[in-house]
Amino acid sequence: MAKYKKTGTLDAYSTIKAVARAAPPLPGPAAGTPAGPAPTDSPPPPTAHIARTAIPTKQIIECYECGYTFQLHGRVKTINCSKCRVNLNLADLTLSTTCTETLKTVGTIRLTAEAVLQSGELVGGDVVLEGTVEGGTIRAMRRLELGAGAIFSEKAIRALDLRIAPAADITFRQEARFRNVEILGRLTAPLRATGLITIRPGGLLAGEIHAEHLVVEDGGGLQAALRISPPENAAPRTR
Amino acid sequence: MENTAPQSVISNEVEIIGTIKSSGSVRIDGKLEGELHCTGDAVIGKTAQIKGNLAVSSVSIEGTINGNVVAKDRIEMKSSARVHGDIKAKRLSVEDGVTFIGRSEVNPTNSPLTTPPVLPETGATEAEDNGQTAGATAARTFARR
């Protein structure tokens, strides 16, 4: 350990090396002999055991400028888009005050119940909205979650998938189009989903529903006029 | 909907025109043109084709129904189910892959809706333009372009 005295930080490699040096050698069988338990009366001495190795996290990054999707290994705070070279922010943001600026991230943006979006644009991979949108826009590249205290301004929100959080009561006045919709609270809407609508126990969906796939779990509520038909049974579209 | 009680079975080579009334469980694999009144559980098999209304305690649907289904307790739609009609029950379970065209009235918690289920297709209100409505239980307006 003497040669590591000057080291200010301890990285994973040096940690493993140190553990290996500190641990006594494992009592292994001699070369050429079959492996088997050694006939000893005392229990084997405790050995160093590394229970878990760090595997680089893998995530799919979608550029919020050009829409290009690529894969990222490991954890970083920013990365350049492979296509348009824009520097992408990967951090998660939590807003709990008034916001008037434009924020973009590939991570998750959470607007707490105290947050008020007055102007600007929020672009996030996932957006959790529990606050108020008075102005500006919100764009979720993946999923938008609407919480219990969410209040929206019209035309302000775009998202691919929608999730209604428990205890949320959301009403859409005009037709809402999403891919996948997951409902744990209450949603009243003329809803058109191209993917899967899932109503979890305690969720309630009301309105006019057009979807290709619907799953209602036991305990989910459904008070709606429905047209659920898989693609092969769907009526031909007319323009 | 596993049920070990004896049940009446309409097998897949049987076709019935008329009303079936049963105080026990019924399994239908054939064709029925008429109504089914069943105080017990009903199973509509994959090969079943029903043209008529069903009034049952609980029903598991795997086949085709052209008619309304009213269950006192539970309606279970398997992935192969095809239902053209309205359903009403206390509890509902729907698997992915079903075809269902009709109205549904299932509210396990019996919580009242704040707004009518079917909303007007057009016509933005003033509340929509403001983006929010007053009141603690105000309905949130949300629109996507």
In this structure, the strands spanning A93-95 and A108-111 are parallel
- Per residue in B98-137, pLDDT (tens digit) is 999 999 999 887 666 654 433 333 333 333 444 433 333 3
Is residue A218 domain-resident?
yes
Question: What integer pLDDT is reported at residue B135 of this predicted model?
Answer: 31
- Per residue in A26-72, pLDDT (tens digit) is 655 544 445 455 555 666 666 666 666 666 678 888 898 898 998 88
Judged by CB atoms closer than 8 Å, whether chains meet at B131 and A177 is answered as no
Q: Are A65 and A115 in the same domain? A: no
Instruction: Check if the beta carbon of residue A187 is closer than 8 Å to that of residue A206.
Output: yes
* Domain span holding position A152: 91-233
Judged by CB atoms closer than 8 Å, whether chains meet at B118 and A225 is answered as yes
Q: Are A81 and A123 in the same domain? A: no
Euclidean distance between CA atoms B113 and A222, whole angstroms: 11
List, for chain A, all residue ranges whose pLDDT scores fall below the cut of 70: 1-10, 23-56, 154, 232-239
Question: What integer pLDDT is reported at residue B89 of this predicted model?
Answer: 94
Q: Are A131 and A164 in the same domain? A: yes
Q: Which amino acid is at A100?
A: T
Euclidean distance between CA atoms B106 and B129, whole angstroms: 32
Provide the number of structural domains found in chain A: 2
Residue of B nearest to A132 (CA): B132
Average pLDDT, chain B: 79
Q: Are A164 and A110 in the same domain? A: yes
Judged by CB atoms closer than 8 Å, whether chains meet at A226 and B119 is answered as no
Judged by CB atoms closer than 8 Å, whether chains meet at B103 and A224 is answered as yes
Residue of A nearest to B117 (CA): A207
Can you spell out the DSSP letters for A113-135? Answer: TT-EE-SSEEEEEEEEE-SEESS
For residues B59 and B144, the model is more confident at: B59
Question: What integer pLDDT is reported at residue A44 of this predicted model?
Answer: 67
Q: Are A85 and A158 in the same domain? A: no
Domain ranges of chain B: 7-108
Handedness of CA A129, A188, B145, A236 (dihedral sign): positive
Least CB–CB distance from B104: residue in A153, A157, A224: A224
Q: Are A192 and A145 in the same domain? A: yes
Q: Are A111 and A86 in the same domain? A: no
Is residue A23 domain-resident?
no
Which of A68, A90, A112 terminates a domain? The answer is A90
Question: What integer pLDDT is reported at residue A231 of this predicted model?
Answer: 77
Asked if A59 reaches chain B (Cβ–Cβ under 8 Å), the answer is no
Q: Are A208 and A97 in the same domain? A: yes
Euclidean distance between CA atoms B24 and B27, whole angstroms: 10
Q: Are A81 and A184 in the same domain? A: no
Euclidean distance between CA atoms A95 and A133, whole angstroms: 12
Q: How confident is the model at residue B68 (pLDDT cuts 50, 70, 90)?
A: very high
Q: Are A101 and A70 in the same domain? A: no
Is residue A38 domain-resident?
no
Residues 101-140 of chain A whose Cβ lies under 8 A from any Cβ of chain B: 132-134
- Average pLDDT over every residue of B39-55: 94
Q: Are A144 and A76 in the same domain? A: no
Question: What integer pLDDT is reported at residue B143 of this predicted model?
Answer: 39
For residues A234 and B32, the model is more confident at: B32
* Dihedral (Cα; A90, A93, A99, A103), 10-degree rounding: 10
* Dihedral (Cα; B108, B114, B118, B124), 10-degree rounding: -150
Exposure on the CB side of residue A124, measured as CA atoms within 13 A: 23
Least CB–CB distance from B115: residue in A176, A188, A221: A188
